[in-house]
Structure 1
Amino acid sequence: MLENDGLFTQMSDLEIIEIIKNGDDTPFDVIFKRYHALSVKITKDFYLKSFESDDFLQEARIVFHKTIHSFDSEKGHTFGNFYKLNLKHHIFSLVRKDMAKKRMIEKNAESLEEMLESKQSMQYILQGKDQLPTIEILQVRERLADYQATLSEFEQRVFLDFIHNNEAEEISVNLNCDILQVKNALDRCKRKLKQLLD
């Protein structure tokens, strides 16, 4: 293997690319090392919440491998420029997907807060009967599960009555408690929800 590595290091990019295209990935690491600095330079300016530098490098390796197999030297561009273009395009695509996911989560969070503020009943969402797409229903349910875990037992009971469109007076009767306790619990529920959404 080391002898092969020594042999590959003396080869040109085009020679190694031809070997890999013919089904032998042995020299892949040799040629990828030549473009390691470029990979780092391109990816270091991007941020994705769940990505670390090693994750970006792994994405770079995947793009590099695909670039080798799609590279055509007769089209007039160098392999390095072709790889650079492909990697940038791939990272931009990852960033766009991440931003779209973030916007969807923020939209669902805002919807959840609006429902609580307007006292719109949430049982339709919880039961999957709302007109929201399935993915949004699942995200709202996940948010609700996180939210309810922050509530005390009394706050949960008040919240449950509240989302079933009961007024504070009705809730106090249902729970056999003072109306002021209910109003205070509702204030805490709203405050905790805003903290979760922020």
Structure 2
Amino acid sequence: MVWLSRQQEDTLIEIAKGGDEVAFEQLFTQYLPLINKWYRKLNFAQQLVDRDDWQQECRMVLFNTLNRYQGRHAGEFATYFRLNVRNRGFDLKRRQNARKRQSDQDDEALDGQAETIQIPSHHPDGLALVVLKERLDEVQSELSAFEAEVWRELMNGVDLAEMTIRLKCSDRRLRNAINRCRIKFTKTLQPTGND
């Protein structure tokens, strides 16, 4: 690879800004080591962004950088491009982590909660029913007013989208309340050593 002088790079930048694809690709090739370095540094897990996709993202970053670059009096092009590549990588990494968190939340499906609570296969006797009712009352007394509303809606089979409208709350607040309810009920209904 032949490294460009400052004057050659400035000329190439101006030509690429004018829409010349060959100049654009030559400039992109010049910065390919930097692009590959950031790909390794960001260490995208589970190949959600493969190398070709990353390079395509960096081509868009180069295009935007060229359009915004105001010449050497404003700073070095390489520094500006490196900063933009790094920031784009961080954005993609945040999206990847957000998708992973969302996926983890989706895995905790509400209808799968019965699996976490061990219910005996035989019919409980009167004493077991009394103990169960006392535990349920105990949990419900620990719920906040909002959690109690959310729990009633869940027990009535209302879906989450409709619940956010009925309770006038965000999806995130609703999911957090459901998660807190689930934790409280699971903790209280776990069999103790006496059961």
Q: Which of 26, 32, 40 is the aligned partner of 2:36?
A: 40
Structure 1 residue 83 displacement after superposition: 0.5
Moved more, 79-88 or 66-75: 66-75
Q: Percent identity?
A: 24
- The 1:74–1:33 alpha-carbon spacing in structure 2 relative to 1, beyond 3 Å, is closer
Partner SS state of residue 124, structure 1: coil
Partner SS state of residue 42, structure 1: helix
The residue that corresponds to 1:105 in the other structure is 103
Q: Distance in 2 between matches of 1:31 and 1:124?
A: 56
The residue that corresponds to 2:16 in the other structure is 20
**Residues 72-127 of structure 1, C-alpha deviation per residue, up to 9 Å, x if partnerless?**
1244321111110000000101111111121122123235344664696594339x
- The 1:95–1:122 alpha-carbon spacing in structure 2 relative to 1, beyond 3 Å, is farther
Q: How much is the aligned-residue C-alpha RMSD, in angstroms?
A: 3.4
TM-score by length of 1: 0.53
TM-score by length of 2: 0.53
Gaps of 5+ in 2: 120-153, 165-169, 176-195
Amino acid at match of 1:70: R
Q: Distance in 1 between matches of 2:155 and 2:114?
A: 7
Partner SS state of residue 88, structure 1: helix
Q: How many pairs does the alignment contain?
A: 127
In the TM superposition, 1:81-160 aligns within 5 A as 81-112=79-110, 113-114=112-113, 117=116, 123-125=157-159, 129-131=162-164, 133=171
**Residues 133-191 of structure 1, C-alpha deviation per residue, up to 9 Å, x if partnerless?**
4xx99xxxxxxxxxxxxxxxxxxxxxxxxxxxxxxxxxxxxxxxxxxxxxxxxxxxxxx
1:30 paired with 2:26, answer: yes
